[in-house]
Amino acid sequence: MKILVPVKRAIDKDVKIRVKADGSGVELGNVKMSMNPFDEIAVEEALRIKEAGKATEIIAVSIGPQQAAETIRTALAMGADRGILVKADGAVEPLAVAKILKAIALAEQPGLVIMGKQAIDDDCNQTGQMLAAMLGWPQGTFASKVVLDGDAVTVTREVDGGLQTVKLTTPAIVTTDLRLNEPRYASLPNIMKAKKKPIDDKTAADYGVDIAPRLETIKTAEPPSRKAGVKVKSVAELIDKLKNEAGAIS
């Protein structure tokens, strides 16, 4: 069984985001980019399934600029077997990404597509769901546990206020939540080995997908800055402020 893992090149999670002066988006020049953290979790899960002898090949796919090849290399250094880079400059919206992934899934016939629940740059949380709908495959989103048994996948989902367990039949789509696993770091020998692993170069046109944006960003703004706090001298003063200034207690 093959596992397809889409990996997005996104702003590194530790970078302080700066909004462009004209409000047209966030500053990307000279900013550290990394693999979307939920996608690292997806690669790790695929590796664990392969190491358990339940998968034979892991294919990492990225849709993005030439530098997205580095994101694929990271997945290969973690242990994925080969990559597909679908070159596209500028932002590619979830619908276009899902259409490209659908074409790749139909060509590669994976038993599982494991992907992030959301990309931390656009926070869309759409691609996995769209892909499942377009393929007509079952989906287990926000997974905190994945158990594969033959052609059945049991996915424990993190839902509001608790956990939900669903059983899917492969081929299926799984999207990862934070508690699914702790992704490994690539070792130096594996980073060296990854340099020799193949990455196929493709374009959206190869899959017959039009990636022209359908959405227009009207404005991007920083969240309001937090007001400075105050130090109180006593518990009585704290309670007085909570009651009479913040209205937090009555």
Residues at the interface with ligand AMP (CB under 6 A): 6-8, 36, 38-39, 61-64, 92, 94, 97, 115-116, 118-119, 122, 124-128
Burial class (CB in 10 A: 0-12, 13-18, 19+), 121: middle
Please report, to the nearest 10 degrees, the dihedral formed by the alpha carbons of residues 180, 12, 27, 114 taken in order.
-40
**Least distance in angstroms from the C-beta of 144 to ligand AMP:** 16
**Least distance in angstroms from the C-beta of 183 to ligand AMP:** 13
Closer residue to ligand AMP (CB): 67 or 187: 67
**Least distance in angstroms from the C-beta of 89 to ligand AMP:** 12
Residues 195, 4: Cα–Cα separation, whole Å: 20
- First-to-final CA distance of the chain: 60
Closer residue to ligand AMP (CB): 77 or 228: 77
Cite the beta strand spans of the chain per DSSP E. Answer: 2-6, 9-11, 33-35, 57-64, 82-87, 112-116, 139-149, 152-159, 162-169, 172-176, 199-203
- The answer for residues whose C-beta is within 8 angstroms of residue 93's C-beta and 6 or more apart is 211, 213, 214, 215
Closest-by-Cβ residue to ligand AMP is 116
Closer residue to ligand AMP (CB): 121 or 242: 121
Closer residue to ligand AMP (CB): 48 or 242: 48
**Least distance in angstroms from the C-beta of 30 to ligand AMP:** 21
**Least distance in angstroms from the C-beta of 213 to ligand AMP:** 13
Closer residue to ligand AMP (CB): 34 or 118: 118
